[in-house]
């Protein structure tokens, strides 16, 4: 939905780190993306490939995406379940008293540089 804007943010951040670490070229960047962030990896990759071509020290920089599964915890029965399949209502006890444990992460994990 807004992958291009997000890619600009990531690249700004990478450029910042690259400057601080005296990096000549960034070969790859690994992102960790939760499955309920609303980010579509294939769109993100398309935007990425276009955007890095505009940065001299990032040409052909590969984007590696690691998915983080969405898991919700139920306060009522204390069990965890898959958020994508069951949403906000606990499949074990039908409680609505639940919260997301993981799955909305959007992290820069690491970058491979020269």
Partner 1 sequence: MDKIKIIEVKESVFASNDRRAEELRQQLKEKGTFLLNVMSSPGSGKTTVLTGIINELKNEFRIAVMEADIDSDVDARTVSKNTGVEAIQLHTGGMCHLDADMTRQGIEALNDKDNYDLIILENVGNLVCPAEFDTGAVRNMCILSVPEGDDKPLKYPLMFEIANFVLINKIDVLDYFDFDIDKCKENIRYRNPMADIFEVCGKDLRGIKEVSDYLRGLIYDWRN
In whole angstroms, the minimum distance from the beta carbon of 80 to partner 1 comes to 20
Residue pair 20/67 in contact (Cβ under 8 Å)? The answer is: no
For partner 1, the closer CB: 84 or 107 = 107
Tokens of 57: 């020290």
| Among 103, 9, 104, 15, CA closest to 47 | 9
26 C-beta neighbours (distance < 10 Å), count: 23
Which residues are at the interface with partner 1 (CB under 8 A)? 1-2, 4-6, 8-10, 12-13, 16-17, 21, 23-24, 27, 31, 38, 88, 96, 105-114
In whole angstroms, the minimum distance from the beta carbon of 107 to partner 1 comes to 5
In whole angstroms, the minimum distance from the beta carbon of 39 to partner 1 comes to 9
Tokens of 86: 């069951």
């Amino acid at each position: 939905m807004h992958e291009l804007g997000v890619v600009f943010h990531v690249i700004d951040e990478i450029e910042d780190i690259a400057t601080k670490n005296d990096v000549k070229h960034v070969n790859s960047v690994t992102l960790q993306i939760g499955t309920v962030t609303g980010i579509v990896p294939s769109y993100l990759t398309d935007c990425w490939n276009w955007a890095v071509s505009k940065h001299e020290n990032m040409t052909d920089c590969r984007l590696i995406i690691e998915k983080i599964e969405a898991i919700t915890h139920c306060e009522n029965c204390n069990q965890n379940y898959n958020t994508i399949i069951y949403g906000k209502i606990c499949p074990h006890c039908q409680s609505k008293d639940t919260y997301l444990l993981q799955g909305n992460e959007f992290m820069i994990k690491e970058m491979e540089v020269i």
